[in-house]
Structure formats: structure tokens, C-alpha cells
Amino acid sequence: MQFDLDRRRPGQSRITTPRKETDTCKISSGVSEGLTTGTPIHVFVPNTDQRGFDYNEMSVAYRPSHADATYDMKYGVRSVQGGGRSSARETVGRVAAGAVAKKILKLYAGTEVLAYVSQVHKVVLPEGVVDHDSFSLDQIESNIVRCPDPEYAEKMIAAIDAVRVKGDSVGGVVTCIVRNAPRGLGSPVFDKLEAELAKAAMSLPATKGFEFGSGFAGTFLSGSEHNDEFYTNEHGKIRTRTNRSGGIQGGISNGEIINLRIAFKPTSTIGRKQHTVTRDKKETELIARGRHDPCVVPRAVPMVEAMVALVLMDQLMAQYSQSYLFPINSDLQEPLAIPRLEAAKASV
């Protein structure tokens, strides 16, 4: 869990916010002698570098494209320090919970959830440079921008440095893949797997778009070009030759690699003068003084992994209770054998 929190925390490198939050987590319930007990797990992550005074000016002037104004429109009152719940600090909880979900998915079915940065501003990693079948967490973590290709990583870092020194910001895209996803996850109608993943991803701060499989680009293909033909592989497993479906067909996972792309806008809090209004509707100018990220995508990588893992975990539990209580056709459904306690314990 601490590993993922460190990937999320501010101040981890020069291309993130210089706030120095150590984000050390303390678990105060729900785990006993290395095992979860069924009790809710309480994780406490105190904020060790809070500077309220940075926010004084912002308490009256609304930051453009930030949640300042809409919180007032909704509640008629808001917390100013650190943005309250609009601070990306709220994602600490997501990352902590996601770490548990990732562990269970790995133990249960060898499922791996991996995200990386595939675009920063105008630096776009071309499709195919990263091999989705084989790239590793180590490759992602080998540089501060979290792009598994070293060459593009350098270009991305340069792009962030360029705006950082000017007090400006840039956005980008995070790609996430899931290897060895169990088959049969998701629902046919309202709770399709892609719908759950879209909600989870779009609930992260600063997101502007979501696509999976062929995505928006797939609209330029014809049906005969787009369809993924089936075949039976040497182990008697039904597979598809291509994967424009992105591992999901009819709202349900088919066992191929799930792949997603999520657009993040440039950080709205910037150190440049902008026109805005105050809480009492007077026009004013604002230069934000907080210590904010010039680009959120490197820190968004563990957040995306966490949200995807949490959706899969929920769906696995649902699938387990709905379909594996009474499997009708075990050959097609492939319910996984119950893993041994020893295996689980050994890995703790």
C-alpha cells in the first residue's frame, strides 16, 4: 500500500508539486496478524505540509476552471484550505483501497493492472511502442514521468519542465491495461463493465475523456474492419485474433487485455495572472500562490490503476455470487478454483 501511496504523493520529483507531504499510512483497524479480518480497514494518512496562508487570496477569488465557484453554487459555503474535497489529496483513499484490490486480483487470478503516461501536452507516445503483453511495472517506474519508453519519457519530462518554469501547466493521457482479467465480469445493461470503468475513471479530478478498445478512432472503421474474429487456441480457450473490443464485449469481459485511455486537462491552478470574480461577484485578478503540479498525469498513474482495480474487484465479487454459486456450464464460464489459504498467507 505504501508503495502506491508513494507513487501518488506530492513532492516525489521536480515535475510534481513541491509540497512535501510524506503520506505515511497508518492502519488502525481491519488487519490483524497480516490478514484482513472482515472489519472495515481504517487507513490514516495525516497531511504533514499544510500551509493555510497560501490560500488566503483564493478564499475570496474563484480560481478559473476550479471547483471553487461550483462548491459555493452547490452548498452556499465551502472550506478553503487545500481546496477541501476538490484537492487531489482525496485520492489518497482511492490509492490505498486500490492497493488491497490489486493484491487480491493478483492472488485470485494473476490479474495485473498497469497504467502509464502515454501523452504529455503535444508529446504523444505512438501506439505499439509499448508492448501491452509484456511491459512491466519496473519499466513504468524507471523514470519520473511514468512512461515505459525511456526516449518518450525524456521528451515528456522536457515538456513539463518547459511550462513549469513559466508557472503554467499541461495535461495529457494515461493508458491503463489489465492482463489476465477474469472472464464474465460486468453486466448486460446499465452496469456494463465499460460503464463502471468510465464512471470510476471520470470520477478522478481533472479528467475530460475516456475511451476503451478502439475508442474514438474506431468510429473511422467499417464493421468488417472493426470486428474481432474468434478462434480456439491450443489450450481450448476461445480467444479473439484482434482486440479492438478492448477486452469487453456486450458489457462483459472476454479475457483479452482490457485497455483504456483517460484524458487529463492541464492543472487549473496556475501561477499566472487570470481574470476572475470574487465570492461577492466583484471582478478581480488572481495569481495562485499554492504549490501546484505543472502536470498531474505522472501522479495520476497510481490513481487510475486503483480505480480500475476497485471496479474489477467489485465485479469479481458480483460475478462470484451471481454466477459461480451455481455454475451452469463450467467449461464456458471457467470459474477459478478457490485458491489455497497457504498461497495467500505465504505471499503476505
Site residues for its own copies, 20-49, by CB under 8 A, read 32, 35, 37-39
Which residue stretch of 13-21, 129-137, 145-153, 319-327 sits at the interface with its own copies (rule: CB under 8 A)?
Answer: 319-327
Three-class DSSP category at 212: strand
Q: Report how far residue 13's alpha carbon sits from residue 3's, in angstroms, rounded to the nearest whole number.
A: 15
- Shortest spacing between CB 12 and its own copies, in angstroms: 20
Residues that contact its own copies, how many (by CB under 8 A): 137
* Nearer of residues 134 and 219 to its own copies, judged by Cβ: 219
Task: Say whether residue 326 binds its own copies (CB under 8 A).
Answer: yes
Torsion of CA 246, 252, 257, 260, to 10 degrees: 50
- One-letter amino acid at 149 equals D
Residue 28 near residue 9, CB atoms below 8 Å: no
Identify the DSSP state of 119: E
Footprint of its own copies on 231-290 (CB under 8 A): 231-232, 236, 238, 240, 244-246, 248-255, 263-268, 270, 272, 274-277, 279, 281-283
Instruction: List the one residue from 116, 212, 259, 301 that touches its own copies (CB under 8 A).
Output: 212
Q: Report how far residue 188's alpha carbon sits from residue 116's, in angstroms, rounded to the nearest whole number.
A: 29
Cell of 326: 451455481
Footprint of its own copies on 81-110 (CB under 8 A): 84-86, 90, 104, 107-108
- One-letter amino acid at 249 equals Q
Q: Which of 306, 296, 295, 75 is nearest to 205 (CA)?
A: 296
Task: Say whether residue 17 binds its own copies (CB under 8 A).
Answer: no
Task: Say whether residue 341 binds its own copies (CB under 8 A).
Answer: yes
* Nearer of residues 150 and 327 to its own copies, judged by Cβ: 327
Question: Given the C-alpha cell 474468434, which residue does it identify?
Answer: 230
Instruction: List the one residue from 62, 113, 139, 298 that touches its own copies (CB under 8 A).
Output: 62
Task: Say whether residue 16 binds its own copies (CB under 8 A).
Answer: no
Question: Would the CA dihedral through 162, 18, 301, 303 be positive or negative?
Answer: negative
- Shortest spacing between CB 136 and its own copies, in angstroms: 26
* Nearer of residues 128 and 341 to its own copies, judged by Cβ: 341
* Number of residues written out for the chain: 348
